[in-house]
Amino acid sequence: MKISIIGTGYVGLVSGTCFAEMGNSVICVDVDEQKIKKLKQGIIPIFEPGLENMVLENFNKGTLIFNTDIKEALKTSEICFIAVGTPMGEDGSADLKYVLDVAKSIGKHMTHHMYVVDKSTVPVGTADKVKNTIQKELDKRSSNLTFDVISNPEFLKEGAAIEDFMKPDRVVIGADNKKAFDVMHELYEPFLHKTDRFITMDIKSAEMTKYAANAMLATKISFMNEISQICEIVGADINKVRNGIGSDSRIGYSFIYPGCGYGGSCFPKDVQALAKTAKDFGYTPKILDAVEDVNNAQKKVIATKVIKRFGEDLSGKTFAVWGLSFKPETDDMREASSITIINELTSRGAKVKAYDPKARHEAETFYLKDNQNVEYVDSKYSALTNADAMILVTEWKEFRSPDFDEMAIRLNNKIIFDGRNQYKKEKLEAIGFEYHQIGVKS
């Protein structure tokens, strides 16, 4: 099939590349000329395991094309995916400016029936706005061309996006006619190993499904983090509690690991956008508001532990931070807990030596660029040299089994603050480390 993908961010680039991998002809369009130029040179703007090789292979085969001309892309496309960003507005709502700009361009330049697919995460009712925008442009042209607007929310996990797309848990399609469903089923059929993974519904339900899924997962995380705070107060061990409740098949072990808060491009934005939508319709979403409040507080927990241990004035102290990205296997630092932790410590006079396998550029260039008290190093052990304690923020694989003898030599004090409860308390204390976890009384 012939497809155009408007937007070469995380969702657009992964989706376009995976569609091309299955033999479709894909044109990825972006207004950012530098990004398109780099993509043509094989320079990928994001880190995602397996993506770079797949992009290069399909680009070299000619099944994946990059350009900046939406008019040209629409000429040969049967299906046009809108995959541009929907940044969070000041009031928590999703900003649809870029989505509607694309819809306007589609209305201006389409030359035949078009299946327009909302792939961006958008609030309920967006398909109606996209439809109205396209139709308005067609009316200006006195055109009788027809089109369908379809909702196809993405459910990609950063760090496992290729596998998620190629072997999806489910494909959700929202449409209002059988032909639209049939076209989307034909497109996704190569990815489906079980027919029940192709789930059809009305458009508004499909739009809501994405937000509801992320809100549920965020709720599990915040619930477990709140339980971890109660565990510390009463003297219980959150790690044992997690094992106890996770064994219940109704609960399961996914997303119940205590930590220093969730981040990334989806959960914070989607929880707030769903809450804003509810409030716009006159409903107060008490659970969603609480999920966000708990998460914001949780991001400060590790910094609070450090301050409690070393004092409010951290002048002259240096802390090694392992991990900057919001989760492993990505360089994404949007809403990352590391930002809050580092800013809390450096605002009190501390120095930070930070290491992350992939996110250093993002930190230096964007998220911590104005913080002069942060030094970036090229290895986890280099970060430890003359540091007063190590703080684990992101659970990258290379942090799972470190050389504790090497750590003891390099650190000024054998102190670890573990924001992901990755190590065994008994083992560390037996070799002389002072070990602080989430949800376990120190």
| 259 labelled binding-site residue | yes
Is 367 known as a binding-site position?
Answer: no
Question: DSSP secondary-structure letter at 4?
Answer: E
Residue 68: burial class (beta carbons within 10 Å; 0-12, 13-18, 19+): middle
Using only C-alpha atoms, the chain has a radius of gyration, in whole angstroms, of: 24
269 a known binding residue?
yes
Is position 121 annotated in a ligand binding site?
A: yes
Is 328 annotated as contributing to ligand binding?
Answer: no
Measured between alpha carbons, how far is 224 from 227 in angstroms, rounded to an integer?
Answer: 5
30 annotated to bind ligand: yes
Residue with tokens 């089109």: 147
Residue 153 in marked binding region: no
What distance in Å separates the CA atoms of residue 187 and residue 19, rounded to the nearest whole number? Answer: 8
Residue 210 annotated in ligand binding: yes
What does the DSSP assignment read for 204-254? HHHHHHHHHHHHHHHHHHHHHHHHHHHHHHHT-BHHHHHHHHHTSTTT-ST
Q: Is 87 annotated as a binding residue?
A: no
Q: Is residue 226 a contact partner of residue 259, using CB atoms and an 8 Å limit? A: no
Task: State yes or no: 256 annotated in a binding site.
Answer: yes
Is 369 one of the annotated binding-site residues?
A: no
Q: What are phi and psi of 350, to 5 degrees?
A: -75, 155
Q: Could you give the residue numbers annotated as active site? A: 266
* Residues paired with residue 375 on neighbouring β-strands, in sequence order: 353
246: annotated binding-site residue? no
| Paired sense of beta strands 198-201 and 171-174, if any | parallel
Q: Is 217 annotated as a binding residue?
A: no
21 is in an annotated binding site: no
Q: Name the helix (H) or strand (E) containing 308.
A: helix 301-310
Is position 385 annotated in a ligand binding site? no
Measured at the CA of 316, the angle between CA 335 and CA 346, to 5 degrees, comes to: 15
In what helix (H) or strand (E) does residue 436 lie, and over which residues does it extend?
Answer: strand 434-436
Q: Residue 391 annotated as binding? A: no
How do 25-29 and 64-67 pair as beta strands? Answer: parallel
Binding residue numbers for NAD(+): 30, 35, 86, 121, 158, 269, 334
Binding residue numbers for substrate: 155-158, 210, 255-259, 263, 327
Binding residue numbers: 30, 35, 86, 121, 155-158, 210, 255-259, 263, 269, 327, 334
